[in-house]
Each structure stands twice: as structure tokens, then as C-alpha cells.
Amino acid sequence: KSVREKDRPDFFVVGEYWKSDYETIADYLEETDFSLDLFDVSLHYNFHTASQQGSAYDLRELFTDTLVSKNPTHSVTFVDNHDSQPGQSLESFVDAWFKPLAYSFILLRAEGFPCLFYGDYYGIQGENPIEGQADNYLDALLYLRCNHAYGPQNDYFDHANCVGWTREGDAQHPYGMAVLMSNGDEGEKLMHVGSQYAGTTFADYTGNREEKITIDEEGNATFLVNGGSVSVWVQDGITPEEAFHEKDE
């Protein structure tokens, strides 16, 4: 409060209050006058459970009892941290196969303030070494967040094992995307990306699918995803420079 009153009214503060039930978190935020944000521990545990249960987990439950679903402007979302990694006091490390899905969830959606774990990006050394995933998928997801995760969001959480959402883009970032993930078999879903994309071709930026998909005149298309995987579809051939700048009138 003192820092903000002096010369930093927008000073960002995040707290680590390791509780996974929303009512306790809500009480904490109220007691601190909503002056700080909190790590979304419930979401982390949902990711961990989902990675452990595989196709038996209902992906529609990822939101259950999470701060990001109930108070997103105070939620700092994360997949893992230094305490949840193997061998540490709060060990609950998300299985490797589910990490791309979890990071897509926190990086490519509108809600929450995502936090990238150093160990996931650069790797972990010591008794429980883990290889960094920068080149495997994290750099691609970070690129997508910076260039395509803007505008209205349309959710398709209508199946236990295959869920997705689209971002339609905005004036400054006019090229949106469609995200589809599965924790079971190969899947597909009809989703709306916006009529402004009618007739254009979309490709999977992750490279997990090789097909090209054409958007219909109403701005819809049936997008595809491999089993136990995630695909992020963007307009084919768009460069970073184009994605960052407003279209010509």
C-alpha cells in the first residue's frame, strides 16, 4: 500500500497462499482488500489430477473451484513451480504428456495472468533432472500468445475428452486462432472463429496436424486434434509483422 501511494499506483503484487478451496482463497482476498493477486493453486492441482487420470478425467472440470473461473482478475495461473517439482515439499508435478495442454490453457485464454515456470522452460538439474521444453512447444505457445491470443473468446467445453476455444482477434491483432485439445482419442470440433476469416485457410501452428482447413462463409470450421495432444490453428502464412499490425482498410 505504501509503495502504491507514493509513485507506483499500478505496482503488481502476487501472493502464494497454498490453499486449493475457493472459499478460503476468497476470504483471504477480502481480508487483504483485494490488494494483491494469488497463484491459482486449485488450477494447478486440476492439471496434476488430469495428467494422472488420462482419458478418465473430464476436461470440463479444469475450471472447478479455481480462482481463474471465479475471480480471474486476481488469478495468477501456473502449471508447476519450484515447490511442486519432483522431490520438493509440495510435489505434484504435472505429467509431461499433459504439459502442452496445460500451458495452452493458461497462455492462450483470456482469463488470468499466466506464470511460466523456469524449470519447464530451461530444464531442471539435480537428483530429478528434467529436460527444458522451450524448443519442443513452449516457444511456439509464447509466440501464439503474443501474436494471436486477442479479442472475443468462444468456449467449447462440451465434451469430457475434447474441448476447445477460439479467439477472434482485435483491431491491433487481427489474426485470431482456434485451440483444440484432447486427453483421449483423436478428436474434432466445429468452432466459430469469425466471419472475417471466411474463405481463408488455417493451419496448425504446433505442427501436430498437417491438414489445411478452410473457414466457411459464416466463419466456422471443423478443427482437428490428435489424441492426448493440442493443436492451435491460425491463418496459414501469417507473419509476426502482419499479426501485430492492423489490417489495411
d(CA 136, CA 121): 10
- pLDDT tens-digit map of 51-65: 999 999 999 999 999
Q: Which three cell numbers stand for residue 189?
A: 470440433
Query: 2-148: CATH homologous superfamily?
Result: Glycosidases (3.20.20.80)
Residue 244 confidence (pLDDT): 61
Q: Alpha carbon of 10 to those of 114, 126, 180: distances in Å?
A: 18, 38, 35
Q: How high is the mean pLDDT of the chain?
A: 94
Residue 248's pLDDT band (cuts 50, 70, 90): very low
Residue 6 C-beta-side C-alpha neighbours within 13 Å: 4
Contact 15, 75 (CB under 8 A): no
- Domain residue spans in the chain? 2-148, 153-244
d(CA 156, CA 91): 31
Helix (H/G/I), strand (E/B), else coil: 148? helix
CATH number (2.115.10.20, 3.90.950.10, 2.60.410.10, 2.60.40.1180) of 153-244 reads 2.60.40.1180
d(CA 237, CA 234): 9
- pLDDT tens-digit map of 148-173: 999 999 999 999 999 999 999 999 99
Among 63, 52, 184, 165, CA closest to 104: 165
